[in-house]
Structure 1
Amino acid sequence: MVEKEETSSSTLWTIHGERPVDSTRRLDLSIAHVELPDGVTFEQYVLRMPKAAMTVVLNDERTHALMIYRHRFIMDRWTWELPGGYVDPDEDPQICAAREVEEETGWRPRTIRPLTTFQPLAGTADFENLIYAAEGAEDTGQGPDINEAARVEWIALDTVRDRISKGEIIGAGAQLGLMFVLAER
């Protein structure tokens, strides 16, 4: 749990109201009427999304990570990603993380533990991302979900930095999770 630090209220932004724009099962979009400490006012788009959980699944030797290769239509790009997805209401995030690995890859993690959390767009969105690490996995014999992955592969950890620099791994969650695992080595 993150403790709140005492700060001067003179630096807090004042929210004079928030107007809903659209609401779906995966996104609430609104416009907040904001006043800065110096008196400047403006409107700010605000996105609120359900938590997401993803997992860095390591092989037994801790040399490779299980990743999915998929197309992201919004950017029209192919990318390597960690398996993951939205946490269902009232679902334990760690159970979600393990479920998503199995559904998307056909592999069942043997162990799973929290690695880190992050907010990808802290100035605009409330979208908590939870990253887990798994040690080892069992092949269930089921193939990957065709809606989620074109390919599933064990990617060598010693290629991760190069893949990131070449734009093959573009997601913030995948980059952060993989870098955490590399830092633990």
Structure 2
Amino acid sequence: MTTQWTVHGERLVDENRHIRLSTVDITLPDGVSFTQYVVKMPPAAMTLVINDAREVLLMRRHRFIIDRWVWELPGGYVNTAEDTGSAAAREVEEETGWRPKSMEHLVTFQPAIGSVDQPQIIYLARGATPTDTVPDINEAQEIKWWPLEEAVDLIARGEIVGASTVVAVYRALSLT
């Protein structure tokens, strides 16, 4: 007996440099067939920057899709020919005005594998130095160093909701 889903075909719905949306015709092992929407997006690289005082660097921004103000890690899409660690460090500086002192891979995960293929690659930076870069107002309204334990409280209060930031904060608790 087969336990794998059978793919019968895929139809492109829309595509641009940030997203590919298609429908895929599937048959389950029990014979049930249906059409599934599939979203493919480029990898995203984020960085949890932590300083010697166990504070993490977070950005406050409005996310229009959920219509909420939230705190999250700096990060963004990885350009096609770009190394993920370099992309993560670049995003920290562009979005916060801080340059990471070091970069180490923390964790990679897929937040919604039932319908979305977008690797989330999280780095850990131990320390950062301020730069002359002025963060883009469209990226963040506020940038703040939060004690790691308070970041956990932000999750509990629903002020951090993005999967990458939640995963990174909880992962950092086990490392520091």
Is TM (by shorter chain) over 0.5? yes
Structure 1 partner of 2:130:
139
Instruction: List per-residue Cα deviations over 1:99-134 (Å, max 9, x = no partner).
Output: 000000000001010000010111101100100000
How far is 1:142 from its partner? 2.4
Structure 2 partner of 1:116:
107
Amino acid at match of 1:160: A
Q: In the alignment, is the contact (CA less than 8 A) between 1:144 and 1:152 conserved in 2?
A: no
Distance of 2:93 and 2:151 partners within structure 1: 22
How far is 1:59 from its partner? 1.1
Amino acid at match of 2:78: V
Amino acid at match of 2:49: V
How far is 1:166 from its partner? 0.6
Equivalent pairs counted in the alignment come to 176
Structure 2 partner of 1:130:
121
Structure 2 partner of 1:23:
15
Q: Are positions 1:50 and 2:12 aligned together? A: no
Structure 2 partner of 1:74:
65
Amino acid at match of 1:47: V
Structure 1 partner of 2:139:
148
Q: In the alignment, is the contact (CA less than 8 A) between 1:144 and 1:151 conserved in 2?
A: no
Structure 1 partner of 2:4:
12
List structure 1 segments (4+ residues) > 3 angstroms apart after TM superposition: none
Amino acid at match of 1:73: F
TM-score, structure 1 as length reference: 0.93
Amino acid at match of 2:116: A
Q: Are positions 1:91 and 2:82 aligned together? A: yes
Q: In the alignment, is the contact (CA less than 8 A) between 2:152 and 2:169 conserved in 1?
A: no
Q: CA RMSD in A?
A: 0.9
Distance of 1:70 and 1:152 partners within structure 2: 9
Structure 2 partner of 1:184:
175
> Aligned runs of 1:163-174 on 2, under 5 Å?
163-174=154-165
Q: Which runs of 5+ in 2 are unaligned?
A: none
Distance of 1:99 and 1:47 partners within structure 2: 26
